[in-house]
C-alpha cells in the first residue's frame, strides 16, 4: 500500500469505505478528488445503482464525521487532561516527605560536591496549598477585605505566583550564573523552602503580640533564615565561580526573605495598635467591627487619629 500522507495524518485508515475503494483501485497516493472521479467514471448510469451508491456514501460520510469527531476529542483529552507525565513526581512515601521537610530547615555548608535535590512535587504542592490556607486564615482573622476579586483569588495568586514565577526567575538566573540545576529541581527546592514561611505565618497569626513585631522578626530571622540558608547552600554547591555564587545566592536570599515580610505586613492587621488607638476592648470585640481596608489605608487612619 502506497503512502498517502493526507489520509494517514487524519487517521482515517480504518473508517470509511472510500479509503477501501481507493486501496482496491490504485496505490498511487491520490487524494479524495481522484476517488470521486473514479467513482463517477466507474458507477453505472442506472437509477438503482446511483441511489444505492448515494446511500452508501451518506453512511460513509456519517461514520467518517463521527470517527473524526471522536479522534479529535481523544486528541484534545490526551493533550489537556493527561496528567500521567506528573505521576513520577508524586511517587513518594510519607516518611520521605517528612524527612525532606525537616531537611529543608537544616542547611549544609556548601562544598565542591553538589548537594542533591529531589525532583518531587507532592511536598511543594502541599506546602503551597498550606500557605494559601494560612493566608486565608490570616486575612479572615484580620478582616482583610479585597475590593476587587476574592480573598481566595488573592491567596492563590500570591502563593502560586511566587512559587512558579520565582522558580522561572531562578531558572533564568541559573542560566546566567551557570548553575547546574533543572527546572523541576528548582520547583522542588523552592517549594520545600516554603516550609519555613508556613511555620512563621502560622506562629505569627496564632500568637498575637502587642504593639510590635519582635516575635515576627525573631521568627523571620531564625525559621525564615534557616530555610533560605538551606536553599542558597544547595545553589552555591551547584555553581562554579565565587562572583556567580554571590550573585545567585544574594538575589535568591533577598527575594525569599522579602517575600516573608510582604506576606506578614500586606495581609496582617495591626490589631492591637488600632484597638489601642481607638480605645476598644480585647481582640474578640474587634472582630465584630466592619471590615476595613488594607494596611495603607489603616496606617492613614491611624495617622489621622494621631493628628486629632
Q: Footprint of another protein on this chain (CB under 8 A)?
A: 83, 86-87, 90-94, 97, 122, 125-126, 129-130, 133, 136-137, 140-141, 145-147, 149-153, 284, 287-288, 290-291, 293
What are the grid coordinates assigned to 4, written together? 498517502
What are the grid coordinates assigned to 285, written together? 470585640
Nearer to another protein, 253 or 295 (CB): 295
Nearer to another protein, 213 or 293 (CB): 293
Nearer to another protein, 158 or 252 (CB): 158
Helix, strand or coil, per DSSP, at residue 9 = helix
Which of 159, 183, 152 has its CA nearest to residue 170? 183
Smallest gap from residue 282 Cβ to another protein (A): 10
Smallest gap from residue 288 Cβ to another protein (A): 7
Smallest gap from residue 274 Cβ to another protein (A): 17
Distance (Å, whole) CA 305 – CA 278: 8
Smallest gap from residue 17 Cβ to another protein (A): 17
CB 196 within 8 A of CB 226: yes
Nearer to another protein, 107 or 124 (CB): 124
DSSP string, 266-289: HH---HHHHHHHHT--SHHHHTTS
Smallest gap from residue 293 Cβ to another protein (A): 8
Nearer to another protein, 133 or 251 (CB): 133
Which of 217, 256, 218 has its CA nearest to residue 234? 256
Count CA atoms within 13 Å of residue 179 on its CB side.
Answer: 30
Nearer to another protein, 114 or 289 (CB): 289
Nearer to another protein, 228 or 269 (CB): 269
CA distances from 96 to 118, 193, 228 (A): 11, 16, 21
Which of 113, 89, 100, 90 has its CA nearest to residue 189? 100
Which of 180, 146, 161 has its CA nearest to residue 248? 180
Smallest gap from residue 143 Cβ to another protein (A): 9
Which of 57, 37, 64, 189 has its CA nearest to residue 116? 189
Smallest gap from residue 134 Cβ to another protein (A): 10
Nearer to another protein, 23 or 169 (CB): 23
Distance (Å, whole) CA 129 – CA 307: 42
Smallest gap from residue 177 Cβ to another protein (A): 33
Distance (Å, whole) CA 85 – CA 268: 39
CB 13 within 8 A of CB 19: yes
Amino acid at each position: 500500500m502506497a503512502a498517502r500522507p493526507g489520509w494517514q495524518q487524519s487517521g482515517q485508515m480504518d473508517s470509511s469505505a472510500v479509503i477501501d475503494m481507493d486501496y482496491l483501485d490504485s496505490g498511487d497516493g491520490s487524494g479524495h478528488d481522484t476517488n470521486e472521479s473514479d467513482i463517477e467514471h466507474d458507477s453505472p448510469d442506472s437509477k438503482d445503482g446511483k441511489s444505492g451508491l448515494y446511500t452508501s456514501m451518506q453512511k460513509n460520510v456519517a461514520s467518517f464525521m463521527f470517527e473524526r469527531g471522536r479522534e479529535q476529542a481523544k486528541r484534545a483529552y490526551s493533550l489537556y487532561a493527561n496528567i500521567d507525565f506528573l505521576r513520577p513526581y508524586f511517587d513518594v512515601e510519607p516518611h520521605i516527605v517528612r524527612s525532606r521537610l525537616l531537611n529543608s530547615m537544616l542547611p549544609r555548608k556548601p562544598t565542591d560536591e553538589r548537594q542533591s535535590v529531589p525532583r518531587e512535587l507532592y511536598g511543594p504542592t502541599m506546602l503551597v496549598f498550606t500557605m494559601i490556607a494560612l493566608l486565608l486564615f490570616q486575612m479572615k482573622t484580620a478582616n482583610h477585605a479585597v475590593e476587587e476579586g476574592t480573598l481566595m483569588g488573592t491567596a492563590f495568586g500570591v502563593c502560586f505566583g511566587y512559587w512558579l514565577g520565582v522558580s522561572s526567575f531562578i531558572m533564568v538566573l541559573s542560566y546566567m550564573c551557570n548553575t547546574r540545576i533543572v527546572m523541576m529541581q528548582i520547583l522542588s527546592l523552592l517549594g520545600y523552602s516554603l516550609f519555613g514561611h508556613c511555620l512563621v505565618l502560622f506562629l505569627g497569626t496564632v500568637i498575637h503580640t502587642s504593639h510590635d513585631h519582635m516575635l515576627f522578626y525573631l521568627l523571620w530571622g531564625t525559621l525564615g533564615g534557616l530555610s533560605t540558608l538551606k536553599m542558597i547552600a544547595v545553589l552555591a554547591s551547584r555553581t562554579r565561580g565565587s562572583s556567580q555564587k554571590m550573585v545567585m545566592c544574594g538575589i535568591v536570599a533577598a527575594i525569599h526573605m522579602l517575600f516573608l515580610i510582604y506576606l506578614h505586613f500586606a495581609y496582617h492587621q495591626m490589631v492591637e495598635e488600632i484597638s489601642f488607638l481607638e480605645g476598644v476592648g480585647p481582640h474578640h470585640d474587634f472582630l465584630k467591627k466592619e471590615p476595613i481596608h488594607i494596611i495603607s489605608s489603616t496606617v492613614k487612619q491611624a495617622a489621622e487619629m494621631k493628628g486629632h
